[in-house]
Structure 1
């Protein structure tokens, strides 16, 4: 199948044979794709290796046959997201989540849009915490693990803005005393559901909630968490 002018980002690249690269790409209409970029490590390649770096919006022409696609052409679709320092680590985390939560050739247009928005936020020098929480939420929603953020577990009653809840991954928000570890106010969960930033004092509990959800669905921890933990300590 011939695919032309497909919006995509490179998530990961590794050497393949003597002069080529094997890419993992996130495309808008075809999901995650394994792509063989032949000859791009040659000195005079038509498509340069630098053009296939992560965080760069691309339009790809591909020939998809079986498990892998072959790169026919690549052109820039905008300016690359310049991610430095902590933002760069956050970008690597996004890429790992996409690779581990998706299967090849399983389209998730909403995830592609969320990924592009998050790169723009990180490149705009936003502190990484809130953009990462939004992306984690949107990723889980896109792949079928959406969080219940507006109703109590079991009863289905609307969350009380002044109530306190602990989030149980298999059930949802459960009422708890305000002093409970990682407890969140109903107002903060509702704000998160509506894409409004919760109160700053909720940041740590929100991070713990999302980490538990990701750990549960992955069956383990992303490798980039150790780097992000070091970032948080700084």
Structure 2
């Protein structure tokens, strides 16, 4: 079978808005079938699916819930075929407002666990449904969405960054296990993006400070990061797995 982007069935978690919507739009632009997964933003997800065309569907599931994810995959198989490509973008609700962030003295276990459930438990529930079809096909592409805060915690968002760090580890261990089945697993890590719902609370001065510190002298957009996700789904990355590509205008090297 062809592994070109236009022949793939792509599931993007948390795709009703922000970066997820940009990733779904990028795949649709390249002709792929796209499943816009959403937890609660039904109207936005359905509006995006209508905008992107008939090869796109909005399907609800809370990625933390294995039964809901199983039902989503069943519906996808029935209407679009087996999922070949999984992009785990969903995050627990979060606002990147440095002035209002939790410090180590105010952070609770629930805050930490909430972020980890969506990042890591969500990745696990999605992988467990995707692996059988990908293994049967001898082909699969998994892309997780990370953060350059793991490498450079310019603002110490403890719970969010810890969850993304754990997701990076899971990305690499999954790559080690799934490689023999022809499944690659990689991460794309952004920095602060201009602009998503999560970064809407970020003061302009922070955007300006980050832009000034990057070689490209600007803040990355969701569309720019989405294009990097396409690379890991494309035949061009067929020999790449277990990697973390940082897309932030060069703010973080490595």
Q: Which has the higher helix share?
A: 2
Quick check: TM above 0.5?
A: no
The alignment's TM-score, normalised by the length of structure 2, stands at: 0.25
Quick check: which one's strand share is greater?
Answer: 1
Specify which structure has the bigger relative contact order, considering alpha-carbon pairs within 8 angstroms and separated by 6 or more residues: 2
Structure with bigger gyration radius = 1
TM-score by length of 1: 0.26
